[in-house]
Structure 1
Amino acid sequence: MDTLEAMTIFLRVVERGSFSAVARELGLSQPTISKQIGALENRLGGRLFARSTRNLSLTDEGQRYYEHCRQILAAVDHAEHSFQTGQERVAGPLRIASSGSFGRIQIAPRLHGFLQQHPDVTIDLQLSDENVDLVSEGIDVAVRIGELKDSGLIARPIGLTRRRVFAAPSYLEQHGVPATPDDLSDHNCLVFNQLEQSDHWRFEHSGQSRTIQVQGNVRSNNSEAIRQMVLSGLGLSLSPSWLFREDVQAGRVLALLDEYTPSSLPIHAVFPADRRQSARVRAFIDYLRDAFALDDDVCLG
């Protein structure tokens, strides 16, 4: 039995909470995973998991062993990185998390180019507008937009997403066109509430910063829903430029107040502090950062 391999599998089973999930992740059969855990338990002389038909939980001894394994494998990874100095082969599974809209518009179309450069990588792209727990979901790297809370994650800035105020022609015909940010108080502002102070919109103009508190009759945690509401003529929104790029080109919406620059949102790649930043994670982060540098709507900070 390869003890380090068995410890790695044990860690993944704890983090995913399922033998079958780890088997799919590693491309192995579930009996193979069970056999590795059984061999590890035989070596240790005790149970790691308190098994039941409904869930998989650690024994007290298993919990202590898990904490030791995390430290040991982190030390091994650090030693390998120190020796390899970035020469590790880019290969293996890569599990990525992103918000739904950003993942669909900005990440999914770029995966083809990344995989052409690194054909030995396999990708599992998970999209959700909620910030998932990276450890429990087995995420290698997540792309997050907006200011980060102190979560114990390692974060690398990879760009900025520009924003603009958008509205449909039908809405503007009925309610008029705002000439300055102050005019927004007279409009129905649709709020994406996944951001801090989501109803406070900040603009820059002639070196001056101004924050406007907006109001509206709908808010949502999904940017695609905000887009659909804007298209329907319900109100206007402060949204990422990339979200409405095709709509502006087609004339379905108009960008407003362009002489007043809304604050951009930082984009970070984040990953757990105690997990190895593998060559495939580094390669993917570098690829996204280079791609964003060429995008007018998602730029380098």
Structure 2
Amino acid sequence: MDRITSARVFVTIVDLGSMIAAADHLEMSRAMVTRYLAQMEEWTGARLLHRTTRKLSLTDAGERTLSLSRKMLAVAEAIDLVEDNQTEEIRGLLRITCSQSLGQTALAGAVTQFLKRHPQVSVDLQMNNRTVNLVEERIDLALRITNELDPNLIARPLSTCASVVCAAPAYLAANGTPNHPEDLASHNCLTYNWFGKSLWHFDRAGEKSAVAVSGNLSANESVVLLAGTLQGAGISLQPYYSAAPLLEKGELVELLPGYQPQAMGIYGIYTTRKQMPATLRAMLDYLVEWFATDEQWRGTLR
């Protein structure tokens, strides 16, 4: 059996979470999907999936095989891609998802300018801060801010997101001002519940450190934590692009100026490199250009 097809079947099973969904998506019989998976396991000499009545999960061998399968498909797709996508017409609908804060501060403006260049394109911009299944939810492009990107994802680096530790003057007047990262442990810090653990990382002259923080308010969106910070609820770690206007007005105060919070990468996530639609490729190319040249955004890079 064809190893490329077997790899594609295996990756689709993992992405969609079931063999039935993979069969429907690939327009194969369920028996054929089962045969391709069995062949993958025979080639690797190991079980790749734990199968229960409710869900599938990867074994350790499956994790390694998934990464290699994605790389193999990427190489195969690059070889197959003989058509010049630049000659295709840039038109149609793009579904894009990103966090509320990035959407409001950057992406709304960037997308508006892109649509002026390409009036035959329309964009459905969905704001949320959860990890979405691009295939199931029919998302063409997801923008994520992270330093822990899943190596199995197909991603293009777009820019960097600087961060700042800040608080309202009222909070500092009532609770004092931290002078060292370690002081944060005794303050009410507003945290992101999707981080899994609340460790804030800092760099001072090449010396890196991390401090565990906690507080009585957590959320999965920085906009919520920013609103709480403005109300004097505590100290938060914010994207600099969100906090900068409030810092300039004096409504927030930057803390620990000698310690640089860890910056994060901004990535465009998509499903496949094979015969990428010209519209999606144009949007990715444009976002790389926009993040690199937009003066307002460049001002957030510090």
TM-score (norm 2): 0.71
Aligned sequence identity (%): 32
The alpha-carbon deviation at position 95 of structure 1 amounts to: 0.9
Q: Kindly indicate whether the alpha-carbon contact (under 8 Å) linking 1:146 and 1:195 is maintained by their aligned counterparts in 2.
A: no
Which residue is 1:258 aligned to? 257
Which residue is 2:111 aligned to? 111
Q: Kindly indicate whether the alpha-carbon contact (under 8 Å) linking 2:162 and 2:239 is maintained by their aligned counterparts in 1.
A: yes
Q: 2:215 matched to 1:225?
A: no
Query: Which residues of structure 2 form unaligned runs of 5+?
Result: 1-14, 37-73
Q: Kindly indicate whether the alpha-carbon contact (under 8 Å) linking 1:162 and 1:297 is maintained by their aligned counterparts in 2.
A: no
Q: How does 1:85-104 map to 2 (within 5 A)?
A: 86-104=86-104
- Please list the CA deviations of residues 35-85 of structure 1 after superposition, one character each: whole Å capped at 9, or x if unmatched: xxxxxxxxxxxxxxxxxxxxx9987995439979xxxxx99x868842226
- Distance, in Å, in 1 between the alignment partners of 2:237 and 2:139 is 30
- Distance, in Å, in 2 between the alignment partners of 1:275 and 1:139 is 16
- Distance, in Å, in 1 between the alignment partners of 2:111 and 2:288 is 13
Across the aligned residues of Structure 1 and Structure 2, the Cα RMSD in angstroms comes to 3.3
The alpha-carbon deviation at position 175 of structure 1 amounts to: 0.9
- Distance, in Å, in 2 between the alignment partners of 1:298 and 1:263 is 14
- Give the direction of change, closer, same or farther, for the CA distance of 1:180–1:79 in structure 2 (3 Å limit): closer
Which residue is 2:272 aligned to? 273
Which residue is 2:248 aligned to? 249
**Which one-letter code corresponds to 1:131 in the other structure?**
T
Which residue is 1:210 aligned to? 209
Pairing partner for 2:29 from 49, 54, 64:
64
Q: Kindly indicate whether the alpha-carbon contact (under 8 Å) linking 2:244 and 2:300 is maintained by their aligned counterparts in 1.
A: no
Which residue is 2:282 aligned to? 283
- Distance, in Å, in 2 between the alignment partners of 1:278 and 1:57 is 22
The alpha-carbon deviation at position 282 of structure 1 amounts to: 1.6
**Which one-letter code corresponds to 2:228 in the other structure?**
M
**Which one-letter code corresponds to 1:291 in the other structure?**
W
- Distance, in Å, in 1 between the alignment partners of 2:300 and 2:141 is 19
- Please list the CA deviations of residues 134-169 of structure 1 after superposition, one character each: whole Å capped at 9, or x if unmatched: 001111111011134437431011111000001001
- Please list the CA deviations of residues 227-255 of structure 1 after superposition, one character each: whole Å capped at 9, or x if unmatched: 11101101001110112122222221111
The alpha-carbon deviation at position 119 of structure 1 amounts to: 1.4
What is the DSSP-based 3-state SS (H/G/I as helix, E as strand, rest coil) of the residue aligned with 2:298?
Answer: coil
What is the DSSP-based 3-state SS (H/G/I as helix, E as strand, rest coil) of the residue aligned with 2:87?
Answer: coil
Q: How many residues align?
A: 242
The alpha-carbon deviation at position 128 of structure 1 amounts to: 0.9
Q: Kindly indicate whether the alpha-carbon contact (under 8 Å) linking 1:181 and 1:212 is maintained by their aligned counterparts in 2.
A: yes
**Which one-letter code corresponds to 1:204 in the other structure?**
D
- Distance, in Å, in 1 between the alignment partners of 2:289 and 2:185 is 39
The alpha-carbon deviation at position 226 of structure 1 amounts to: 0.5
- Distance, in Å, in 2 between the alignment partners of 1:202 and 1:151 is 22
- Distance, in Å, in 1 between the alignment partners of 2:301 and 2:92 is 29
What is the DSSP-based 3-state SS (H/G/I as helix, E as strand, rest coil) of the residue aligned with 1:290?
Answer: helix
- Distance, in Å, in 2 between the alignment partners of 1:250 and 1:299 is 19
**Which one-letter code corresponds to 1:258 in the other structure?**
P
TM-score (norm 1): 0.71
The alpha-carbon deviation at position 174 of structure 1 amounts to: 0.6
Q: Kindly indicate whether the alpha-carbon contact (under 8 Å) linking 2:78 and 2:273 is maintained by their aligned counterparts in 1.
A: no
- Please list the CA deviations of residues 79-117 of structure 1 after superposition, one character each: whole Å capped at 9, or x if unmatched: 884222633222111111111221122101222211111
- Give the direction of change, closer, same or farther, for the CA distance of 1:59–1:118 in structure 2 (3 Å limit): closer
- Give the direction of change, closer, same or farther, for the CA distance of 1:269–1:59 in structure 2 (3 Å limit): closer
Which residue is 1:200 aligned to? 199
